[in-house]
Amino acid sequence: MSRTKVLLVGATGETGGSIASGLLKNPTFEIHALVRPRSALKPAIVALQERGVQIRKCDLKAPEEELVEVLSGIDIVISCIGSADQQDQIPLASAAKKAGVKRFVPCAFLTVAPVGGIMWLRDEKELVYNHIKQLHLPYTIIDVGLWYQLSYPRLESGRVDYALTAANNEIVGDGNTPIAITDLRDIGCYVARIILDDRTLNKMVLAYNTVMTQNQIFDLLEEISEETITRNHVTEELVQNRVLASRQASETYPFDPIKFIPRYLAEYQLSWGIRGDNTPEYAKYLGYLSSKDLYPDFTPIDYREYLETVVKGTAKGIYTDRTISKAHQRMFPRTESTDSLQSRMFPRTESSDSLYMTR
């Protein structure tokens, strides 16, 4: 029986790495990773090869005939490219159509949000989705809950700092807004099921583990850690002001992806914190299929158990190789002790594009 050939774009990023791990667990898949030729010998790429991933070399900005050639024989393309590089998927999708790719999974992997002025990043992705549909290219759009790894606050003792990307001590509004959350490590397991499922072809899917409020998350971490966590409530007015200011600051020419970092974060707070977009109920309203309905037998990583590993010191941090912009530090001021935690999420100068790394 022939194996399904999957090409992963962005295999060395956080989301891409989870997907690579999920696919490698299933012998049904023959996994290929698309990388720039100059990146082929980098340690992260070599590590993928050692795990059994085959490497295909091509630049996303290469002529269409080169992209078509590199996609030859591929059944499914999964894209996890950088936030600032979403439009690079348009020529890739066009080449995929000509190469006969059977399913294209664009770089979604966001929390649930409607199109049209709520989140700039969501709207950028919609341009790609529309291009795919104009091509009549088979697709699946996969969004996910807020990652476990980004969901919990800092402890005053500092004992979870090793795993934190951001301090996360702000509670948006009253803290009772439900939020769908997903362990980053489960994303790849969901994807491995979704891309082989005929029910998900030309559909949107929300893959999530559970639903929590910020207050519930703070309460749970206090219980596990036996520490009291200061709750800094952020009003709707402040969030709206951050959104307005970050939009004005980012809309400059030439395009500067670093200026969009405060905008991403402010618009996330607006979407899941104020509007309450990131819920399974709203996803169904927007037309998503739910991972809970599709795969009732799937057992995700338990959130409490994850937090227990964080407190014990055995969890793995994310974005440990990245630094956040000065613009974000100004808009979301932190204490001296937590500024270092902010330094792990985004790069100052480039979006790890040499490896097609992203989320």
* Phi and psi at residue 290, to the nearest 5°: -110, 135
Vertex 128, ends 15 and 148: CA angle to 5°? 25
Q: Which of 57, 125, 284, 326 is catalytic?
A: 125
For 64-154, where are the E strands, in sequence order?
76-79, 103-105, 140-144, 146-147
Q: Evaluate whether 16 touches 183 at the Cβ level (below 8 Å).
A: no
Q: How far apart are CA 210 and CA 201, in angstroms?
A: 24
Q: Which long-range contacts (CB under 8 A, 24 or more apart) does 65-73 make?
A: 67/91, 67/92, 67/94, 67/95, 67/99, 68/95, 68/98, 68/99, 70/34, 71/7, 71/95, 71/96, 71/99, 71/101, 72/99, 73/5
DSSP reduced 3-state for 154? coil
Q: How far apart are CA 46 and CA 68, in angstroms?
A: 24
Which class for 141: exposed (0-12), middle (13-18), buried (19 or more C-beta within 10 A)?
A: buried
Please indicate whether residue 125 is annotated as part of the active site: yes
Q: Which two tokens stand for residue 322?
A: 């990245």
Instruction: Give DSSP secondary structure letters for 51-62.
Output: TT-EEEE--TTS
Question: Which residues 6+ apart lie within 8 Å of 115 measured at CB?
Answer: 122, 123, 126
Residues serving a catalytic function are 125
